[in-house]
């Protein structure tokens, strides 16, 4: 009996090893697509390099490939947290030894659209190649020309990832990729092909949003296996809202509460007549969308507007409710603690109407950050304050002071609950424990006091 179970164990073990070896061997085949020796088919001209520079803005390469600790642009070294550990972005300057200076166009194409690294191993999808897979050959060639001829080489060795063995083994990623990342052949040229719609502008917008813009990497919810739950409009979860480091990332399907122009302004300048940008979207606007042409912003906005919104969850303006709140705040009688805190601390900029001031102070009645399921971002803004980015279209920086030192956890909870249920807003109440958690994650020196001074100087 004993020896039988022992031989059974042996068979299972051997079978396991054989299967693992087979899986490993097959992963090599999966990593062999694309032509690593492919060359540019266009001549490298200053125009091509400039086009590549523009596309690098659209793709926001600088955001991930530049370390926050005073790192040189595109030299890599930024740590990106993932469920298995920290992945460091790489040096994509044309340095021969430490960057991509020796890469052929074909190798660049394989990394960008297929997630295959220089040595043929699979890249982590922290590099958004499932989105970049949609990029056309023509655009990729321009990007390559820019990284070879338009970027200064920086000698900086890549940092080793901080992922424990055996999770650090890369070959299983090849399976992830073949399951979840679209084949470039199927989607390259999407520029022209997405024209299942006759509207060329929407098609261009779809190409930018889904492809280089990789908007879905933050705005689309992810499955347990970390892939985005949809990569284009065929999925109703595409751009349906998600969370990023506890910060609510709003749905951007349809955006019924904004006009096409509102969207264009927000992406191009960081603010519009109702909102101003905060959280990680601030960097997206500052590094990427604010550098895009009006035509491309119009195209992206047209595409987002063309998507069907989840109307059940969307904010609805209810004039009687909104007026009731303004009237109560104006009368200043029998105010709840939350209402009183609002009048005392927020009213000067956001007003009793919660309407703010166009292009200066954002509207709180209807703001996505106020109505989000997860109130962490709202709590964060109240505690730490926020500051609009300076963009070419809107250079002035408008700061909001932080209230971490002035309000305690239960006061912030009362205030946030009022915001989420006042005017036409309709979200759940906040408790002091939620505030305590967000506060414990803030740095010890909230930016509030300093940014307030900046505001007076303007
Ligand atoms: C959201 C973050 C993010 C963005 C945006 C991003 N990358 Fe990456 N990229 C990474 C990470 C992380 C890696 C390393 C992946 C790995 O080690 O498996 C990487 C790897 C690469 C590689 C492979 C380099 C090597 O040495 O193996 C290339 C080439 C590359 N990126 C180019 C680009 C370009 C061009 C853009 C802009 C169009 C871009 N990346 C935008 C995160 C990003
Ligand atoms: C790095 C993550 C990230 C990426 C990439 C990203 N976003 Fe965002 N986006 C956010 C966050 C976070 C917010 C919430 C901002 C706030 O709270 O003020 C946001 C807000 C927005 C809003 C405001 C919606 C509202 O109702 O207030 C729009 C519009 C938007 N993003 C469009 C885009 C588009 C278009 C792209 C691609 C070009 C994109 N985003 C890429 C994180 C991201
Ligand atoms: C001195 C003027 C000022 C005061 C006082 C002020 N705010 Fe703001 N608030 C701003 C500005 C400016 C922004 C835009 C900052 C940004 O988008 O980065 C803003 C943004 C916001 C946002 C939106 C952030 C986003 O992600 O879209 C919320 C919510 C908010 N304030 C709530 C409050 C509350 C609650 C109070 C009172 C405790 C308050 N504000 C007090 C000026 C002010």
Closest residue by CA, ligand 2 atom 10: 281
Q: Which residues contact 284 (CB under 8 A, 6 or more apart)?
A: 60, 63, 218
Closest ligand to C-alpha of residue 94 is: 1
Q: What does the pLDDT profile of the chain (458 residues) look like in tens digits?
A: 567 888 889 999 999 999 888 888 888 778 778 899 999 999 999 999 999 999 999 999 999 999 998 899 999 999 999 889 999 999 999 999 999 999 999 999 999 999 999 999 999 999 999 999 999 999 999 999 999 999 999 999 999 999 999 999 999 999 999 999 998 865 555 454 444 556 899 999 999 999 999 999 999 999 999 999 999 999 999 999 999 988 999 999 999 989 999 999 999 999 999 999 999 999 999 999 999 999 999 999 999 999 999 887 788 999 999 999 999 999 999 999 999 999 999 999 999 999 999 999 999 999 999 999 999 999 999 999 999 999 999 999 999 999 999 999 999 999 999 999 999 999 999 999 999 999 998 865 444 333 222 222 22
Q: How many angstroms is it from 400 CA to the middle of ligand 3?
A: 5
Q: Establish whether residue 286 lines the binding site of ligand 2, counting it when its CB lies within 6 angstroms of any ligand atom.
A: no
Spatial contact of 222 and 229, defined as CB atoms under 8 Å apart: yes
Q: What is the largest CA-CA distance in the chain?
A: 87
- H and E: helices and strands count for the chain: 22, 6
Spatial contact of 227 and 180, defined as CB atoms under 8 Å apart: yes
- From the CA of 173, give the closest atom in ligand 1: 18
How far apart CA 86 and CA 171 sit, in angstroms, is 18
How far apart CA 435 and CA 375 sit, in angstroms, is 9
Residues recorded for the chain: 458
Q: Establish whether residue 131 lines the binding site of ligand 2, counting it when its CB lies within 6 angstroms of any ligand atom.
A: no
The residue assigned the tokens 């650090």 is 168
Question: Cα 450 vs. chain centroid, distance in angstroms?
Answer: 27
- Backbone phi, then psi, for 381, in 5-degree steps? -65, -40
pTM exceeding the 0.85 threshold for the entire prediction: yes
- From the CA of 386, give the closest atom in ligand 3: 18
Q: How many angstroms is it from 142 CA to the middle of ligand 1?
A: 17
Closest residue by CA, ligand 1 atom 35: 61
Closest residue by CA, ligand 3 atom 2: 349
Q: Which helix (H) or strand (E) holds 81?
A: strand 79-82
Sign of the dihedral defined by the CA atoms of residues 425, 427, 430, 435, in that order: negative
Closest ligand to C-alpha of residue 251 is: 2
Domains of the chain, CATH where assigned: 37-183 (1.10.760), 190-306 (no CATH), 319-457 (1.10.760.10)
Q: How many angstroms is it from 249 CA to the middle of ligand 2?
A: 6
- From the CA of 117, give the closest atom in ligand 1: 27
Q: Establish whether residue 122 lines the binding site of ligand 1, counting it when its CB lies within 6 angstroms of any ligand atom.
A: no
How far apart CA 116 and CA 111 sit, in angstroms, is 5
Closest residue by CA, ligand 3 atom 37: 346
Q: How many CA atoms lie within 13 A of 278 on its CB side?
A: 23
Pocket test for ligand 2, best of 250, 299, 374 (most atoms within 8 A of CB): 250
């Amino acid at each position: 009996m004993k020896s039988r179970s022992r031989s059974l164990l042996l068979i299972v073990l051997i079978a396991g090893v054989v299967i693992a070896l087979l899986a490993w061997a097959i992963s090599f085949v999966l990593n062999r697509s694309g032509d690593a020796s492919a060359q540019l088919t266009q001549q490298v001209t200053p125009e091509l390099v400039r086009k590549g520079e523009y596309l690098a803005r659209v793709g926001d390469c600088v955001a991930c490939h530049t370390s926050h600790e005073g790192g040189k642009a595109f030299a890599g070294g930024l740590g990106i947290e993932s469920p298995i550990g920290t992945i460091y972005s790489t040096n994509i300057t044309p340095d021969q030894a430490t960057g991509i200076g020796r890469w052929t166009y074909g190798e660049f194409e394989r990394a960008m659209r297929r997630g295959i690294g220089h040595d043929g191993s699979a890249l982590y999808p922290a590099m958004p190649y499932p989105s970049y897979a949609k990029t056309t050959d023509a655009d990729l060639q321009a990007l390559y020309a820019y990284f070879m001829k338009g970027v200064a080489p920086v000698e900086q060795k890549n940092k080793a990832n901080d992922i424990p063995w055996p999770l650090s083994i890369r070959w299983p990623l090849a399976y992830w990729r073949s399951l979840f990342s679209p084949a470039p052949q199927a989607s390259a040229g999407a520029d022209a092909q997405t024209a299942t719609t006759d509207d060329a502008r929407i098609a261009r917008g779809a190409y930018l949003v889904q492809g280089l813009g990789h908007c879905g990497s933050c705005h689309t919810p992810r499955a347990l296996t970390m892939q985005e739950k949809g990569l284009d409009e065929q999925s109703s979860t595409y751009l349906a809202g998600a969370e990023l480091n506890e910060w609510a990332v709003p749905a951007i399907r349809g955006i019924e509460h904004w006009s096409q122009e509102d969207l264009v302004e927000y992406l191009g300048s960081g603010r519009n007549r109702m909102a101003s940008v905060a959280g990680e979207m601030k960097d997206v606007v500052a590094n990427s969308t604010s550098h895009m042409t009006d035509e491309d912003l119009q195209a992206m906005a047209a595409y987002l507007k063309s998507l069907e919104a989840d109307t059940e969850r969307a904010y609805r303006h209810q004039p009687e409710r909104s007026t009731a709140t303004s009237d109560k705040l104006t009368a200043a009688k029998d105010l709840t603690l939350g209402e009183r805190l609002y009048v005392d601390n927020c009213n000067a900029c956001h007003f009793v109407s919660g309407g703010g001031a166009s292009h200066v102070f954002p509207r709180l009645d209807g703001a996505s950050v106020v109505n989000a399921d997860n109130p962490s971002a709202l709590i964060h803004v109240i505690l730490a304050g926020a500051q609009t980015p300076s963009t070419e279209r809107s250079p002035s920086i408008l700061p909001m002071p932080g209230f971490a030192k002035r309000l305690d956890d239960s006061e912030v909870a009362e205030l946030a609950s009022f915001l989420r249920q006042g005017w036409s807003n309709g979200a759940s109440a906040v408790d002091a424990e939620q505030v305590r958690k967000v506060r414990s994650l803030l740095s010890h020196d909230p930016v509030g006091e300093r940014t307030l001074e900046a505001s007076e100087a303007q």
